[in-house]
Amino acid sequence: MKKNSLPGPRGVAFECVTRALDGGADAQAVLDNALTNAGLDGRDRGFVTEILYGYLRMRIRLQSVLNCFLSRPDGLPQPILRVLGMAAYEILHMDVPAYASVDWGVDSAKRLSRGKLGGLANAVLRKVARLAEDGADEDFFRRRCDSDIEFLSAYYSCPEWIVELWVDSYGRDKAELYLEAQICAPAAGFVLDTQDKKAKAAAIQLLEEEDYIASDGQAFAFYSGYWPEAFKGLKDSVNRQSYAAREALAVLTPTDWPTPVWDGCSGRGGKSRFLHSKKISPIIASDPHARRLAALKKGTPSVSAFRASAINPPLAKASIGTALLDVPCSGLGVLSRRPDTKFKRTPEDLDSLVRLQARILDNSWETIRKGGQLAYITCTLNPDENERQIASFLKRHKDAAPLKEWTTPPDSELREFFYSALIEKK
C-alpha cells in the first residue's frame, strides 16, 4: 500500500483531494483519471465525485467546525485534517449514516497515523455528528467570528482575501450572492447538434417540457445532476459546455462580427464550435497547448487551427476582422465548477494576470483591420481583470471604441459568472 493511501471509494476521493491540493493538479483532470483507473460502478463514481467537489467547496467551513473541537489543529498532519474534513462533509452535508462516516474517519486516521490518532478522530467526529443534529446554521458561525469578513469566509467557505475583494468591489449584498453561488454545484450545460434530425427533435422536446434553467434552442442549462431522457441515443450529437460561457459569447452578437474571426485563446474549441454553428466563416483558431488543439480539430475540423500564443500572435498586421480573446484569468467567477482554484490563487497572481491580459490585448489589437472588432471574455469576478482592464485599454488606444460590456447577473441560477466586452477599431 502506498504511503497515505486509503481503500475503497472514499480512498479514491482522498487521493484526488490530495493530488489537487498538494500536487497542484486540476481537480477535474485528477478525478477523470482516477475514475478511469479505479474500476468503480456508477453509484460509487457519483459518490467519489460528490465527496471531492463537496469537500473542496466547503473545506474552509468544515475546518471552522473542526477547529471548535480541536485544541491544536495546526499541530495535526495535513492528511489527518483532510480525513476529518471529508468525514465531516459527509456528516453535515450528505445523506450518509453518521456512524459510517465516523467509522471511516476513525479507521483512516488510524491507518495514516499508525494507530496513534484514532481516538482523537473518534471524539471529534462524534461531536460533529451531534452538531449535525442541531444544525450548524449562520448563528453558529457568527458567534465564533470576530468580524463580518471572517464570518463570510467561514460560512461561505472562501478565503478572506477573495471575500474582501468582492465586498470592496461589488458591495456586501452582491458579494454574498457570489459567495453562496460558489459553494453550490453549477448548472449542467449541454449543446445539441441540431443539424442531426434526432438531436433537433430532442431540442424541440426539451423546449416543450420546460425543465431547463435556460436555453437558446440549441444549448440547455439544467440543475446539476439532471440528465434528460431526450438525450438517449444522442451520444455523438450532445456536447457538454458551460451555458454561462456560451451566454457571455452570444451577448456580443458574433453573427455581426467582421470576418475572418480569430479565436486567439481557443482551448478545446467550444467557442469556435459555437461560431461555426452560427454559420460564421472563415474561422481560425490558436492555442499554445497541443492537446487542446487536438480536441478542437477533432470536434470542429473545418476550423483552421494552429499552435501559437496570443501574447505574440503570428498573424499579419490588420489581417483579422474580429479577434476573440477568452484570456487567461484568475477564474474567480467559476469557483463552483473549479473549487480548488480558491486554494491555489493568490492576490499576486491577479496582478501578474492583469499584466498578461494587457499584453494580449495590445498585441492582438495590431492584427485587427480598421472597422474590425475585438471580443474580450473572462470567467472571473475581479474589476482589475474586467472593467478596469478594458478602461485602461481604451485609454491606451485612441482608435478603440467600446460597443458593449456585460457581466453575468449576480443572482444567476447558472452559478458561474463571466465578463465580456466588445470593442471596435475606428
pLDDT in tens, 356-406: 999 999 999 999 999 999 999 999 999 999 999 999 999 999 999 999 999
Which of these three, 136, 170, 203, is where a domain ends?
Answer: 136
Question: What pLDDT shows up at residue 1?
Answer: 38
204 and 268 fall within a common domain? no
- Round the average pLDDT of the chain to a whole number and report it: 95
96 and 198 fall within a common domain? no
Residue 406 lies in a domain: yes
Residue 341 lies in a domain: yes
81 and 130 fall within a common domain? yes
58 and 205 fall within a common domain? no
Which of these three, 206, 240, 274, is where a domain ends?
Answer: 240
Q: What is the CATH number of the domain that holds 117?
A: 1.10.940.10
pLDDT tens digit sequence for 95-141:
999 999 999 999 999 999 999 999 999 999 999 999 998 777 899 99
Residue 183 lies in a domain: no
Residue 346 lies in a domain: yes
Residue 275 lies in a domain: yes
Residue 156 lies in a domain: no
pLDDT tens digit sequence for 45-54:
999 999 999 9
Domains held by the chain: number: 3
Question: What pLDDT shows up at residue 3?
Answer: 56
228 and 132 fall within a common domain? no
Contacts of 320 (CB under 8 A, 6+ apart): 260, 261, 262, 367, 368, 369, 372
Residue 316 lies in a domain: yes
Distances in Å between the Cα of 252 and the Cα atoms of 226, 248, 310, 344, 353 are 29, 7, 20, 31, 23
Helix H, strand E, coil C: the string for the chain is CCCCCCCHHHHHHHHHHHHHHCCCCCHHHHHHHHHHHHCCCHHHHHHHHHHHHHHHHHHHHHHHHHHCCCCCHHHCCHHHHHHHHHHHHHHHHCCCCHHHHHHHHHHHHHHHHCCCCHHHHHHHHHHHHHHHHHCCCHHHHHCCCCCHHHHHHHHCCCCHHHHHHHHHHHCHHHHHHHHHHHCCCCCEEEEECCCCHHHHHHHHHHHHHCCCCEECCCEEEECCCCCCHHHCCCHHHEEECCHHHHHHHHCCCHHHCCCCEEECCCCCCHHHHHHHHCCCCCEEEEECCHHHHHHHHHHCCCCEEEECCCCCCCCCCCCEEEEEEECCCCCCCCCCCCHHHHHCCCHHHHHHHHHHHHHHHHHHHCCEEEEEEEEEEECCCCCCCCHHHHHHHHHHCCCEEEEEEEECCCCCCCCCCCEEEEEEEC
The answer to which of 165-179, 228-242, 251-265 has the lowest mean pLDDT is 228-242
Q: How many CB atoms lie within 10 A of CB 346?
A: 11
Question: What pLDDT shows up at residue 4?
Answer: 63
Q: How confident is the model at residue 159 (pLDDT cuts 50, 70, 90)?
A: very high
**pTM, full prediction:** 0.95
pLDDT tens digit sequence for 25-45:
999 999 999 999 998 999 999
404 and 284 fall within a common domain? yes
Q: What is the CATH number of the domain that holds 259?
A: 3.40.50.150
284 and 298 fall within a common domain? yes
Question: What pLDDT shows up at residue 118?
Answer: 96
60 and 128 fall within a common domain? yes
Q: How confident is the model at residue 215 (pLDDT cuts 50, 70, 90)?
A: very high
Express as a percent the part of the chain with pLDDT over 70.
99
pLDDT tens digit sequence for 280-329:
999 999 999 998 999 898 888 889 999 999 999 999 999 999 999 999 99
327 and 388 fall within a common domain? yes
Residue 15 lies in a domain: yes
194 and 256 fall within a common domain? no
Question: What pLDDT shows up at residue 413?
Answer: 97
Which of these three, 97, 120, 136, is where a domain ends?
Answer: 136
**Which residues span the domain enclosing 269?**
243-425
Question: What pLDDT shows up at residue 70?
Answer: 95
255 and 304 fall within a common domain? yes
81 and 214 fall within a common domain? no
